[in-house]
Structure formats: structure tokens, C-alpha cells
Amino acid sequence: MKCFVTWILMITLTACTTMRPIDANPTDLSQRIAAGGLLKPGDRVTIETKDRQTYEFEVMVLSATSIDGKHQSVRIDQVASIHKRVTSGKKTFLLAGLILIGGAFTVALVHAFQGAGAAAILGNTH
């Protein structure tokens, strides 16, 4: 049972995430990034620059001029589009619920068949 609970906890903590585009033109993106309200350290992003290069990384540092990851840096004025990883609470809750229901159903079936098997064995020995 501990293993099952641990498994459910791991799925819940990893959560359901999707990459969502941030809708804005490049000028608005640059302004919103520089203002500090759009991204924060720890965000996972995919950035396409005006020269069509794509960068995927976790934001480590934001400055007035760049978005910096561990090994990559993108100048804010070169950003053409951004996709940001977003956690979906509804999908995570649904997934965890379905797993719990499936687990409970499996446990119920195992107990039902064990009981039926035991009854058949006892019926045959008398």
C-alpha cells in the first residue's frame, strides 16, 4: 500500500504541464519581459528569436536586457515568441483521481477473486 501511495504522490507532484504560447507581438513581449511581470526565475520556456533560432531552458536570471538560463542567454530585444510551461491543476487532479479509482478497482477485484478462490477450495475439500 505504501508503494501505491508513493506512486500517486509522485504523479501528483510532477503534475500535468503544457507549453503555452504567450500572445503578444515582439515589441510588447520585450516590454512585458523588461517590466518583470511576464517571466520569473524557475520558469521553463521555449523562446524563438527574430532570426528564427529556438532556445529551450529554465530561466535563472532576468535582467532589463536579457533572459538567462544555465548555459544560454537571449537578449530581450531579439525575442519573437515565448512558450511558457504551465501546470494544469485540473488535469493533475483528474489524473490522480483516475489513478486512485483504478487502483481501488484493482484492489477490489483482487480481493473478490481471492475470496472466490478460497470459497472454491473450501467447497472442494468438504
pTM: 0.56
Q: Which residues pair with 32 in a beta bridge?
A: none
pLDDT of residue 59: 92
Q: How far apart are CA 35 and CA 21, in angstroms?
A: 19
Q: Answer yes or no: is pLDDT of 52 > 90.
A: yes
Q: What percent of the chain has pLDDT over 70?
A: 67
Q: What pLDDT is stored for residue 56 in this prediction?
A: 93
Alpha-carbon Rg for the chain, nearest whole angstrom, is 25
CATH of 17-87, one of 2.30.30, 2.40.10, 2.60.40, 1.10.10: 2.30.30
The whole-number average pLDDT for the span 67-95 is 82
* 44-49 vs 79-88, strand pairing mode: antiparallel
Tell me the sheet residues that pair with 86: 18
Per-residue confidence (pLDDT) for residue 69, from 0 to 100: 93
Q: Which of 121, 124, 89, 125 lies closest to 17, judged by CA?
A: 89
pLDDT of residue 55: 93
